[in-house]
Each structure stands twice: as structure tokens, then as C-alpha cells.
Amino acid sequence: MNKAEKTALGALPIIILIGVGLAWAGSQGGTTFAGIPVFTIAVALAFVINWIAFIPAYLQQTEKFFDLLGGISFISVVTVAVILSPTVDARSLLLLGVVVIWALRLSLFLYKRVHAA
């Protein structure tokens, strides 16, 4: 293991603590699902998706799928947040639709651009 890998591995606990801190701070006074704040669930989902996608990217030493993963993360997190919200109204669905369309458009554009280069 080289120095850069050791440094990255050492930073891992700090990154996780920052994520936990953000999840805790952002969920103060928010809605809950099964006793867990929805914001905390969203943060955890974003971490899990990105860590799962990191494994093949690291093994193949590529970042070609990074932009596509961003769209998947946005869509997944927003969809779960809306589904777990206690009230879903027309505004929530409209925002969900707009975010999904934006995330698909942007991530597919960036994915195609990276693969064309």
C-alpha cells in the first residue's frame, strides 16, 4: 500500500463522521419513518450507493461511471425521501419529477461525453 492509499484510508473515518454529523444536523426537527429521520435515511442511502459503486470503479481504476452514478444517487435519494414523507402532495411530486428529469439529462449527457472522449 503506497502513501496515497494510506492517507485515503486514514481519511475514511473522518469522512464517515462528517456524513454522520450532517445526517444528524440535517434531521433535527424533520419527519421520521419508523423512528428514523427521513433525512438520515437519505444520507445513508447516498453513502451506500456511492460506496457500492466505488468497489468496481476502484478495481477497474476508472471513473467513467462517476457521472452516471451521480444521477442514480440523486434519483434514488429524492424518490426515497418522497416515498417516506408522511404527506405527498402535488408539489412534492412535481419537484420529484423535475429532479428526476434534470438528473437523467445531466448524468446521461456527462456519461456520453466521457465515453466519447
88: three-class secondary structure by DSSP: coil
Between CA 30 and CA 39 the distance in angstroms is 7
| pLDDT tens digits along 107-117 | 999 888 887 87
Question: Given pLDDT bands bounded at 50, 70 and 90, which one contains residue 6?
Answer: confident
Look at the pTM and tell me if it is higher than 0.95.
no
